[in-house]
Amino acid sequence: MEDSLVESFEEKFGFQPEVYSLSPGRINLIGEHTDYNLGYVLPSAIDLRVAFLASRRSDGIVRVWADSFNQEKRFSLKKDMDSKLGGWIDYIKGIYWILLKQGASLGGIDAYVWGNIPLESGLSSSAAFEVSIVNALDTLFGLNLSSLEMAKLAQKAENEFVGVNCGLMDQFISVFGRKNNAIFLDCETLEFEYIPLRLETEGLGILVCDTGVRRDLASSAYNVRRDEAAMALEKLGGDGIRTYKDITRTLLEKKKSDLGKIFYKRARHVVTENERVKQAVTALRRNDFHELGRLLFLSHESLRDDYQVSCPELELLYECGKSFPSCLGARMTGAGFGGSGIALIRKADFPSFKELLSGEAQKMGLIRPSFFDVEIGDGTQIRNKK
């Protein structure tokens, strides 16, 4: 892949790239909608990635070819950098915008973007894109950013320029991912621990099921859920409570009548999901994949009933997982409202599960899912520098 992308860059621009940045998407094993609530998450980087190849130019023009869209877009660093252009180019402009605001010395580039992460699939193509850009610009212009700075800058660009109020998890795992490991991350303190995923010892694998249902997070109910969770926490505040990690189920039940139905349900999901993440880490430390699977099912039920971010296609994945003998657990991953789910299954039974899910989707008149047998991979890296 590396050689072919370098060749594609050279065909497009007439010279070789100076830098080749490659960053992964992610699956979140468990811990959904807890990241922006400063709770616990357990994501892993995967071997679906975004590549960003670039070389410097001297005129302040940023010119980018996006392979997935068969499209070129550009902007000038000498013109209005505060305005959006619309579409994928805003992720690049947003990274430039935040770096320039922080005093970085940047120039124009010619760049080529390639990726094999399905867009709007809940596998964090946007974070992989952002991290690839940041890492490339850091290398090209000698910014000397730390790994954590790269993740935070990528998130800040998405929050403040693109307009999606995402937490830090996606960018963090795209930077810090490690092969055959999950990351147990405290999204408040940013303390983290690598947790080995010894799937092969049990003949297990993680099958990603892309429902094909697409949603634009910037205009979806994602920001509504975030606001609801924040307002529920405010009502629960006082007595030393700073985040949902400080709230027990007992306290939540005491405050139930004060919260009202919707805020109570949103808060209950976050409180119980934090508990499930810690339980999942304990299960993985003892290679108890049956317990992990049970927690995946419970997570999905909470996301469906309390956070209300499911859809028929994700429900079908859950139901098929429940009925399939060698599926230990299944749930939506990512923000919900569509996108993808994951299933923890015996690898030898992947074909049968795909057949079951596809057949049931067809019977119900739903979009037939796409499948990815993913491997757990490493975080962002510079693969090629001239």
Question: Active-site residue numbers?
Answer: 170
Element (H, E) at 135: helix 125-141
Q: Which residues pair with 71 in a beta bridge?
A: 66
A 10 A CB-CB count for 158 gives 26
Q: Which residues contact 307 (CB under 8 A, 6 or more apart)?
A: 32, 33, 225, 265, 266, 269, 336
CA distance 182 to 152: 20
Query: For 374, phi and psi rounded to 5 degrees?
Result: -90, 150
111 burial (CB, 10 Å; 0-12 / 13-18 / 19+) is buried
Q: How far apart are CA 97 and CA 111, in angstroms?
A: 17
Given a contact cutoff of 8 angstroms between Cβ atoms, the answer to whether 338 and 348 are in contact is no
Identify the residue whose tokens are 């989707």.
361
Q: Please, are residues 132 and 23 in contact by the beta-carbon 8 Å criterion?
A: yes
Structure tokens at 265: 């349900």
Give the burial string for 48-79 (b: 16+ CB within 10 Å, else e): bbbbbbbbeeeeebbbbbbeeeeeebebebee
Other Cβ atoms within 10 Å of 212 Cβ, number: 18
* Rounded (10°) CA dihedral 54, 46, 271, 318: 130
**For residues 332, 335, 340 and 341, what is the CA-based torsion angle, rounded to 10 degrees?**
-10
Phi, psi at 124, each rounded to 5°: 70, 50
How many helices (DSSP H) and strands (DSSP E) are in the chain? 12, 12
Maximum C-alpha span of the chain: 67
Rounded to an integer, what distance in angstroms lies between the CA atom of residue 339 and that of residue 116? 15
